[in-house]
Amino acid sequence: MLVAGAAGLWPLRSARAAQSPSPLAPLQRGVALGLFHEDPLWSYAGLLKEIAQLGASHVALTVAYYQEHGGSTQIFSHPRFSPPDDTVVRTIREAHAAGLQVMVFPIVRLVHPRSDSEWRGTLKPESLPAWWHSYEQKLLSLAALCQRSKVEVLSVGSELSTLDTPPHHAQWQHLVAAVRKQYRGVLTYSGNWDHYQQVGLYDLLDLAGMCAYFPLASRLDVGPVPVEKMTAAWQKKRVELEQFAQDLKRPLLLTEVGYLSQRGAAAWPWEEGAQKPVDLEEQRRCYQAFADAWAGSELLRGVYFWNYYGWGGRASIGYTPRHKPAAEEMERYFLREAARPAR
């Protein structure tokens, strides 16, 4: 297996002043790793070493916090499904030891959603002030942990589509300012793929992040979708996203690019609960299409493939590329980007 060294972070000026995306920064060649194991003593060190051996320079450690349902106002660490602080700190240390730089990536999950369509993207808290206070307390605690652990990048949230629009800018302005008092690294936020143009807080941050579950095919497609069609879909989206970054005057970060290893994944990459037949080749072609479409981009500052957690293997229908042909495509992309001359 080929190995590439980690790329450093680029210098960033203050997010308070608008800036055009600079073409001089190295790519964050990233893989997401969910800290989802129920045993707080379980070590992620082996997975982190594998990620580094695939040519990654960065890892996004995903930390899940919870609220009861979409109308709840209290965010908490779940006793089974949220990693304790000690686990997060240890895993950051293990990632650095493996030669990886770290993004800490908090997400909000619901314990008892009130419908199949309720998730963090549809939150409607019964009391907005109470929700913002609870979210702020969680995020500030995490920010202080990240500063102590020398974390390179921190996301202030992900896919909070009902709460990340311009009407909530004042709350985000207060929150981001409070986070910057605790944490001196790079800040981003991850807008949802079908909502990123409505996100109203990118001006407060260093990187404009988004989850990139854009469909590469139609649900009406019959038979295997050619990689050329998938690549064309990504190329079209690349033009749109690079223009968005230019207009925003912020560098672009794709915080989640992921595909299930099952039939039809190109048409609905976001449907985590889908249970279709295993199709490792479709997942591989999706990875290849991304790599071909984004080769040589001067405006993309990073990509994180979702999600390495899990055993993977030829019987897996989940997102992880582990022990699958998609991992080889990811490795080729990482090593090709790492070998590009300084820009």
> Do 286 and 327 meet the contact criterion of CB atoms below 8 Å apart?
no
pLDDT of residue 223: 78
Structure pTM?
0.92
pLDDT of residue 275: 82
Task: Specify the pairing of strand 207-211 against strand 186-191.
Answer: parallel
pLDDT for the residue numbered 4: 32
Provide the pLDDT for residue 222.
65
The 3-class secondary structure across the chain, one letter per residue, is CCCCCCCCCCCCCCCCCCCCCCCCCCCEEEEEEECCCCCCCCCCHHHHHHHHHCCCCEEEEEEEEEECCCCCCCCECCCCCCCCHHHHHHHHHHHHHCCCEEEEEEEEEECCCCCCCCCHHHCCCCCHHHHHHHHHHHHHHHHHHHHHCCCCEEEEEECCCCCCCHHHHHHHHHHHHHHHHHCCCEEEEEECCCCHHHCCCHHHCCEEEEECCCCCCCCCCCCCCCHHHHHHHHHHHHHHHHHHHHHHCCCEEEEEECCCCECCCCCCCCCCCCCCCECHHHHHHHHHHHHHHHCCCCCEEEEEECCCCCCCCCCCCCCCCCCCHHHHHHHHHHHHHHCCCCC
CA atoms within 13 A on the CB side of 171: 17
* pLDDT tens over the chain, length 343 residues: 333 333 333 333 344 444 444 444 579 999 999 999 999 999 999 999 999 999 999 999 999 999 999 999 999 999 999 999 999 999 999 999 999 999 999 999 999 999 999 999 999 999 999 999 999 999 999 999 999 999 999 999 999 999 999 999 999 999 999 999 999 999 999 999 999 999 999 999 999 999 999 999 987 776 789 999 999 999 999 999 999 999 999 999 999 999 999 999 999 999 887 788 999 999 999 999 999 999 989 999 999 999 999 999 999 999 999 999 999 999 999 999 999 876 5
Instruction: Find tokens 């995490």 and name the residue.
Output: 142
The pLDDT value given to residue 169: 98
Pick the closest to residue 337 from 292, 281, 285, 306 (CA basis).
Answer: 292
Q: Residue 302: what pLDDT? A: 97
Cis bond upstream, residue 307 (ω within 30): yes
Domains of the chain: 28-338 (3.20.20.80)
Q: Look at residue 293 in the predicted model and tell me its pLDDT.
A: 97
- Write the pLDDT tens digit of every residue in 77-99: 999 999 999 999 999 999 999 99
**What pLDDT does residue 273 have?**
76
User: CA–CA distance from 332 to each of 27, 76, 327, 336 (Å)?
Assistant: 14, 39, 9, 6
Q: In the structure encoding, which two tokens stand for residue 16, read together?
A: 């308070």
The encoded tokens of residue 30 equal 């990233």
Length of the chain: 343
pLDDT at 341: 72
- According to the model, what pLDDT value does residue 342 have? 60
